[in-house]
A and B are shown apart, each in its own frame.
Chain A
């Protein structure tokens, strides 16, 4: 791979047929910091999380109303066929609404990736969205996942790690996904009240606290204990979402009002008292307590290492060179988490410019690079959604807060490759013979004269078949 091919494919999202040649690869990458569009047209024209928040609030209100009506008749909703089917209809509508947010967001993500002037930065958006993953296999997250990326990741991809982290941890999608919204301090005002009434037992939920340490900052097995996780979870109580829950409990907690879907600190849910985490005492009150913990986590050397390792692995191989990890770690620490400084260190690192391919493309990377390579200007959202599902990497659906794997072993299965071949065949057929793989392949992926790939593309039975072969050639499968 030449430096230009590396810049376009390993760093970028794949060359486009209509791209001008990259003459100064490193400068081309750095200059994208000025060209990145945090909110391109495809995203700007969509609603945002306040819309789905309002819809969700209405949904809960409707369900509540139904429950109240049933209770007044001495029944529960499930007792009568008519209220039961009404409740089902409301739930079904909510699911449809959620999907009506999710699918266009998938399309907007793809659209931005196809036409962006800053494919390297766009790739970094995908990287961070996967680092801070939410997953739509949790029904409550379906409608929010796209807005999470657009609102918490994109605006901060060229900012500071701290800003991105707080945007992530305070976004409704994350607060829902990792159950923070149901975490209540047992000794908080609401916790004590509920306990007095002898109603349901409320308590803290450790999900966000644990994943914030294990996945978002420090990394697994970096010296924190279960007790630290629990203490952090206590500190996080009160971090929740405004304007969605509408009942008396929400009024009690003080979360009923406020802009629907926005972050709110609900002091009446917060566990009072000082916390001790990794040997340090936090006696701040309220929201500031968890903020102070996060600030220490960000400054912890394990976090710098964790981020450096993952970034190095994304560009320089499944087992990244320790020298590169060290280089990136240093850049992260020295700049206090300034992300462009971190990216510049990556671009300047020789380990990232090794001529042989270092990464096997994930299905998402493959799809986007194939569409870019074939010159697609826009693709239907449903088509992208369907294709990613078929290829085994549905968008924003990794099924775990750890996100999708970033190593070849997870993606290079026999069936996965067969599906790529089938997809390549279909994508190529849609070009209807308008592209010549023989000229395209050297340009896009640097297929060398005299290589196997050049030979097999040249021998193809048809222009479409040649394109399909290009798309699944070893050069195209890797970056």
Chain B
């Protein structure tokens, strides 16, 4: 059941958007462009979503996991799409889905929380930047377009910042809210004993929590809800949806199938709900880091480095997989275990945002990823 909860009306705009920052480049398009970020918390295994079945090392490297792609639809000579992603596969065929592989944020360690912090803040290391890149894009948009909403009880870091952002979520199952859990983390930060135990508790929860409640229908409803919040004159232009449960240390084959079905249903719900607005929409799907190439002793994979990102939407120049493929051979792996990153999420996000909203890529990069040295934004991502 979806009930109204805590709708904070948005659109109170911070100093930057009042034109007090000189040289501000405003978006050129009239406000019909929409952007949705679906975060995959827990480190989604990109190699098991878009699999490099054409890589000669693939079958030996992935072992039993390769079986899931035996009859998977091929995307090109190298890659195949996980069979659970039926809707997304359909979007790919229509040219509405672009996959970018071997991609990572600048984060190179393997902590979920630090990794998510980097992904969301846009910093080069965890906890250096206190706001999120999706909030920092808002001042670059025309003031009356700078409306964003978190489709969750509270606003995730990606959307936090000087511009006030709304949040709206379906009612929760009984239990502590994600926000309370965040605050407990802060509360225990200086208590080494409790902090250590709590980190473990959160890790376990991320792994088991969403899967145990796995419900494809819920995911479709969540997508439909997000669409509803994005359609209409005064509706938000930017939205964020959080997904959990990607931390597949064990029994990955079945668990990831469930996760991907949910993601597929969520995208389907969003696509259907947006209707004509889909043509002006870009959906980014990304995770904090990838997983080990090798399968572990419990049929799962462990924390890795590069993974997969998706751009979905009628505005996307899709129908292809972009990858400077590093290969899965032993010598090609990052630290001998992970898919090596050959593309940056920052370059993808900068390029997508600049093209989608008609902004100067240099300005976007400065605003979203101020700490990164000049990575070239990716190009030709969006239909303009």
Contact = CB atoms under 8 A, between A and B. Distances in A.
Contacts of B154: 461
A469 B183 contact: yes
A469 to B, nearest CB: 6
A465 B183 contact: yes
B179 A477 contact: no
Interface string B174-191: 111101110110111111
B194 interface: yes
Interface in A212-266: none
B198 A456 contact: no
A474 B180 contact: no
A469 B197 contact: no
Given A460-B183, A465-B183, A469-B183, A415 B194 contact: no
B197 A413 contact: yes
B255 to A, nearest CB: 19
Interface residues of A, number: 24
Contacts, number: 62
B189 A412 contact: no
A59 to B, nearest CB: 38
A426 B205 contact: no
Contacts of A415: 201, 204
Contact of B189 (A421, A452, A459, A465): A452
Nearest to A465: B180
A414 B196 CA distance: 9
A425 interface: yes
Contact of A425 (B175, B190, B194, B200): B175
A414 B200 contact: yes
B201 A418 contact: yes
Contacts of B77: none
B204 A414 contact: yes
Interface string A438-466: 00000000000000110010011100010
A461 B179 contact: yes
A177 B230 CA distance: 65
A474 B174 contact: no
Contacts of A424: 176
B212 interface: no
Contacts of A469: 180, 183-184, 187
B182 to A, nearest CB: 10
A459 B179 CA distance: 12
A414 B197 contact: yes
B298 interface: no
Contacts of B193: 412
A167 interface: no
A417 interface: yes
Contact of B187 (A414, A425, A426, A474): A474
A417 B187 contact: no
A158 B154 CA distance: 52
A473 B197 CA distance: 14
B187 A452 contact: yes
Interface in B154-211: 154, 174-177, 179-181, 183-184, 186-191, 193-194, 197-198, 200-201, 203-205
A469 B201 CA distance: 17
B94 to A, nearest CB: 42
Given A414-B201, A417-B201, A425-B176, A452 B183 contact: no
A417 B184 CA distance: 10
Interface in B57-77: none
Interface string A404-429: 00000000111101100110111000
Interface in B228-264: none
Nearest to A473: B187
Given A421-B181, A453-B187, 17 more contacts: A414-B201, A414-B204, A415-B201, A417-B197, A418-B176, A418-B205, A421-B184, A422-B175, A452-B190, A456-B183, A456-B186, A465-B183, A469-B180, A469-B184, A472-B184, A472-B187, A474-B191
28 contacts: A412-B194, A412-B197, A414-B200, A414-B204, A415-B201, A417-B198, A417-B201, A418-B201, A418-B204, A421-B176, A421-B181, A421-B184, A422-B174, A422-B175, A425-B175, A425-B180, A426-B174, A452-B190, A456-B186, A459-B183, A461-B154, A461-B179, A468-B176, A468-B180, A469-B183, A472-B184, A474-B187, A474-B194
